[in-house]
Structure 1
Amino acid sequence: MYGPSSWWAAIISSTDAKSDFSANPWRLCTVTQVEELKILVRMFPVWATTIIFSGVFAQNSVFVEQGMVLDKRVGSFDVPPASLLTFDVISVMIWIPIYDRVLIPIARKFTGREKGFSELQRMGIGLVLSIVTMVSAALVELKRLEVARTEGLIHENVAVPMSILWQIPQYCFAGAAEVFTAIGQVEFFYGQAPDAMRSLCAALALVTVTLGSYLSSIILTLVSYLTTQGGDAGWIPDNLNEGHLDRFFWLMAGISFVNLLVYIGCAMRYKYKNV
């Protein structure tokens, strides 16, 4: 049902009646156009909170840098750090059937929803998992720096004797987060978008990936600049053994946590469109 604001925006004023208002569509809108705009405005805060999520996923390059200073030998084989991204993909492949076959039937019993979780609930779970991803990476880095200190490698730009396989959990958590948030995001924008704008709104999910990458670059630049003041090595120097990459991961976890709180507020206030 259309609200009062929709009718006011579609009313022809006395001034419009005396002029050729049809030549200027910006002077008058149909009720449908107003309602579509209201839907987009309601969706915008939810869309904005997913940019931080995409920024977390853009940290894969930092994960690779972390893997470069870990022991890459597994038996007689040297594991390329970038190849651990495979575990992200494997995690997605595992979590999709688990979600469909296990989690949805369980959630359906509690929520009464055919899909088990609403799109907003699904996205929220993914945001929580993105925080867990950063915490996992920070804990691995803390352990790596501890090993570097124990072995006297702080001022040596070399890999520490700690297996690169310790990175697997953070990649797996990242894949699980993607299953929940990325897929839920597409379903949300497509399902809640005005009928005539569904394809456009579904594409908004891809825009967050681009904006998240830009945001990640800005954060990395600021961290590098601020932490190298006074001649310090900074958090992310060329020799990571002298740095504090763990603090960067904690920072990203903190930003993600604040973003989660904002998201919860937006999700609680969001009103689904009338089908």
Structure 2
Amino acid sequence: MSDAESKQSDYPNRWRLCTVTQVEELKILIRMFPIWASGIVFSVVYSQMSTLFVEQGRMMNTRIGSFRIPPASLSTSDAITVILLVPIYDRIIVPIARKFTGKERGFTDLQRMGIGLFISIMCMSIAAIVEITRLKLAKEHLSLNIFWQVPQYVLMGAGEVFMFVGQLEFFYDQSPDAMRSLCSALSLLTTALGNYLNSLILSLVTYFTTQGQNPGWIPNNLNEGHVDYFFWLLAGLSILNMFVFVVAAKRYKQKKSFVRF
């Protein structure tokens, strides 16, 4: 149905017939959905910075002489990484990548998001290895220095630069012209849903791992649990998420301009 027909008084039921523009815009949103959904699992990993990373840091050696480092303050490593990496990406990484890919931005938005997802897998793997080392030392009544957490925060910051920025650019470029503001806000929705999904995963893990009077993976005293198992679980989910993302990205058709009737 054209716009001219829709202005007529005897046009058919609008719930059954739509304009070509409306149909094309809906098809664009449906194609974007798998790409959008991949950001939810990434946000689950991102939420660990304000949850289990802090709990992990509380069980480590936080003292330098007489000064005590608040475990939550290590998130500044993430912020510093973002501040430094954004100009490095624009001034160094993009020109180098441009020579190989021939693309103005160096990487496509989808490639940039894929790199961010891969970094999130590395982040969870490093966090799990640090926790394994911490537990081994705890059995010997020793404590691991909290600065061993810095690499996982740095990797998370690098993942942000690739995933979140790429996601914003992807939604803005590929969304329908009339819905760019709305689609640009979808990245915020993935963060919210990621936090909810993180809470759900934590609840399920706690329920199933505390059966039979077991302390579970994440007890109040982390020395009695296995937070490393939870980090490996998130790494596994991130690998599965990246696989789905790669499949969806390969099948994704870039938005084409179409004529408004």
- TM bucket (normalised to shorter chain) is over 0.9
Contact 1:53 1:256 in 2 (8 A): yes
Corresponding position: 1:236 with 2:218: yes
3-state SS of paired residue (2:86): helix
Q: 2:219 aligns to what SS in structure 1?
A: coil
Long gaps (5+) in structure 2: none
Aligned 1:92-107 pairs, distance under 5 A: 92-107=82-97
Equivalent in the alignment of 1:49: 38
Does 2:244 match 1:254? no
If the length of structure 1 is used for normalisation, what is the TM-score?
A: 0.89
C-alpha displacement at 1:58, in angstroms? 1.0
| Matching residue of 1:141 | 131
Q: CA deviation at 1:95?
A: 1.0
Larger-Rg structure:
1
Is the counterpart of residue 188 in structure 1 residue 170 in structure 2? yes
1:245 counterpart (198, 220, 227): 227
How much does 1:101 deviate? 1.0
CA offsets 1:46-81 (integer angstroms, 9 cap, x no match): 001111001111112110000000000023210000
Runs of 4+ in 1 over 6 A off after TM superposition: none
Shift of 1:263: 0.3
Q: Which amino acid aligns with 1:176?
A: A
Structure 2 length as normaliser, TM-score?
Answer: 0.93
| 1:221 partner letter | S
Q: Distance in 2 between matches of 1:84 and 1:244?
A: 22
1:1-275 pair list within 5 angstroms:
10=1, 20-21=10-11, 24-60=13-49, 61-151=51-141, 160-275=142-257
What is the CA-CA distance between 1:149 and the residue it aligns to?
1.2
Partner SS state of residue 272, structure 1: coil
Q: Shift in Å at residue 207 of structure 1? A: 0.3
* Distance in 2, Cα, partners of 1:258 & 1:75: 43
Identity of paired residues, percent? Answer: 60
**What do the CA deviations read for 1:113-164 (whole angstroms, capped 9, x no partner)?**
000000000000000001111011101100000001122xxxxxxxx52110
CA distance, structure 1, for counterparts of residue 65 and residue 113 of structure 2: 39
User: Does the residue aligned with 1:201 lie in a helix, a strand or coil?
Assistant: helix
- Aligned residue identity for 1:28: L
- Report the number of matched residues: 252
Q: Distance in 2 between matches of 1:38 and 1:88?
A: 37
- Work out the CA distance in 1 between the residues paired with 2:93 and 2:129: 28
- Rounded to whole Å, the distance in 1 between the matches of 2:52 and 2:113 is 24
RMSD between aligned residues: 1.6
Aligned partner letter, 2:253:
K
**How far did residue 21 of structure 1 move?**
3.5
**CA–CA distance in structure 2, aligned partners of residues 20 and 129 of structure 1:** 57
| Structure 1: unaligned runs, 5 residues or longer | 1-9, 152-159
Assess if the C-alpha contact under 8 Å between 1:21 and 1:27 holds in 2: no
CA distance in 2, matches of 1:132, 1:95: 17
